[in-house]
Amino acid sequence: MGQPPGVQFDGQSTQPAVPGPKQSTTRKARLDGKLTPLAVRRLSTPGLHADGGGLYLRVSPTGARSWILIVHLGGRRREMGLGSVRTYTLADARERARECRKLVDKGIDPITHRSAEVAANEAAQAARKTFKECATEYIRLHQPQWRNAKHTKDWPSSLERYVYPEFGEKDIGTVTKADILRVLEPIWHDKTETATRVKSRMRLVLHWAAAKGHCAPDPRLWTDVTAALPRASRIKRTTHYAAAPYASVPEILKVVRASSATDTVKALFQFVVLNAARSGEARGARWSEVDLAAKTWTIPGERMKAGKPHRVPLSDAALAILQAQPRVEGNDLVFPTPKGVQYSDMALTALLRRLKFPITMHGFRSSFRDWAGETTSTPHDVVEAALAHIRGDATVQAYARSDLFDKRRTLMDAWATYCAGT
C-alpha cells in the first residue's frame, strides 16, 4: 500500500502529480536543488544538504543542524560556519551566504573579515563606558589638583543629584543634546549658578571620554545646548558675599574678643580679618609656613586659589596672635580643633550667626578693600596684591615680577591699627 499524499522522506515529496499553487512552488524548489523551509525542518539524515551557491545544511550524527558555506578563494577551499538553524532561518542563511560571496568576488576572505569584525566589536564593547563610570574616573584623576574642599565635595555630589538619575547608566557614546537639556532645563532659571556648574562638569567629562576613545567628539553638541538655553547672564541673580561696612570692623572684632567662643576660634577669626585672608587659607595655616623673626606667613601654591605661593606681611597684631597660640607636639596646624584637625568653614560662620552679625567671613575682604580705597592713597595694584588677586592679563603678569611686599607691609600695618580702633 502506497504512502498517503504529503508524507516526506529525506525531503522527497509524494505529493499528487497536479499539486496546488504552494505545493507546486515547494516541489519546483526541490527539483531545482534548493532547500525549502519545510525540508529544513524535517531533514534528519546526517550529512550535507545543498541549497546551491555553496550553501549547505549540515546535519550531524547527533541531530544538530547548522548552516555552512563552502567557497574557493585563490585556489583554496574555505568552509565557513554561518550559524545554527535555531538562530538563522533559511532566508537568513541565504542572505549571509550572499554577503560572503560578495566579499569573495572582491578577493576578501570572509572568515578573516568576520574575525576582524568580531575583534572590532569586542574592542568597542571593552571601550564602552557609562557616563557615571567616566565621571568617576575623571574625578579620581583630577581631584588631587583641586585645592578648594567645597569644590572637591560639590563635583561628585552635583552629578549624583542632577545627572546620574537622568543618564548616569547610559553608554556615554549615546548621550545626546536631549539628555543634557533634560538635566539643565528644570534648574536653569531657579538654580542658574548650580546649573552652569553642572553643565561645565558634564562637558568636561564628555571631552575627557572622547579623548580616551570612549565616545566620538561631537563639536555641535554644546553649541546646540547653549543655543537651546537662555543666556545665564540674563537670568542669573548675582549675590555678593555679605560684608560689614569697614567702619563696623573694629566693633565687630571687639564683640568677638568678648564672646564665649574658644580662644582658638577667636584667634582664628581675628587672624583672618587682620590679614584680609580667605578663611580656608587661615584655617589651614601651618607653623612651617610662618617665619616669626621675619614677620612673614608664606602660603604655598597648593593652598592658594590662584595656585601660586603668596607671602603675607604680618602686622604686630597678627604676630601677637601667633605668638599666643600654643603649639601641639606633632601637629603643624596653627589653629587646630580640640581633636587636632583643621576647623571647617562653618566654625567661623557659626560664630557670626551666634553674635547676630548678618555677614560672612569672606565679606571682610571687601571691607578691607573699601577701607583701603576710601581712606588711603594706596595704589590699586598694592591692594589687589594684598588680596592675592591675579593682576591684569597674561602680558601684565609677565612683567609684574614684584609682589609689592614692602608696600603691602605698610598697608597691612595701617589696617591692623585701624582694626584696633586706635
* Per-residue pLDDT at 61: 92
* Per-residue pLDDT at 116: 81
Contact between residue 43 and residue 36 where contact means Cβ atoms under 8 Å apart: no
* Per-residue pLDDT at 127: 59
* Per-residue pLDDT at 234: 74
Burial 207-235 (b: 16+ CB within 10 A, else e): ebbbeeebbeeeeeebeebeeebeeeeee
Region of 107 (left: φ > 0; alpha: ψ -120 to 50; beta: rest) is left
Please state, in angstroms and rounded to a whole number, the distance separating the CA atoms of residues 92 and 96: 6
**Quick one: DSSP state of residue 292?**
T
**Quick one: DSSP state of residue 298?**
E
Burial 5-34 (b: 16+ CB within 10 A, else e): eeebeebebeeeeeeeeeeeebeebbeeeb
List the domains of the chain with CATH numbers.
8-127 (3.30.160.390), 131-235 (1.10.150.130), 246-419 (1.10.443.10)
Residues of the chain where predicted confidence (pLDDT) is lower than 50: 1-29, 31, 392-401
Task: Quick: pLDDT tens for 331-354.
Answer: 999 999 999 999 998 999 999 999
Bridge partner residues of 80 (DSSP): 69
* Per-residue pLDDT at 125: 63
Judge residue 357's burial from the number of C-beta atoms within 10 Å of its C-beta, 0-12 exposed, 13-18 middle, 19 or more buried.
Answer: middle
Report the candidate in 84, 55, 71 with the shortest Cα–Cα distance to residue 112: 71
Please state, in angstroms and rounded to a whole number, the distance separating the CA atoms of residues 359 and 83: 74
Contact between residue 198 and residue 167 where contact means Cβ atoms under 8 Å apart: no
> 304: number of CA atoms within 13 Å, CB side?
17
* Per-residue pLDDT at 375: 93
Q: Say what the pTM is.
A: 0.50
Contact between residue 380 and residue 269 where contact means Cβ atoms under 8 Å apart: no
* Per-residue pLDDT at 392: 45
Contact between residue 83 and residue 66 where contact means Cβ atoms under 8 Å apart: yes
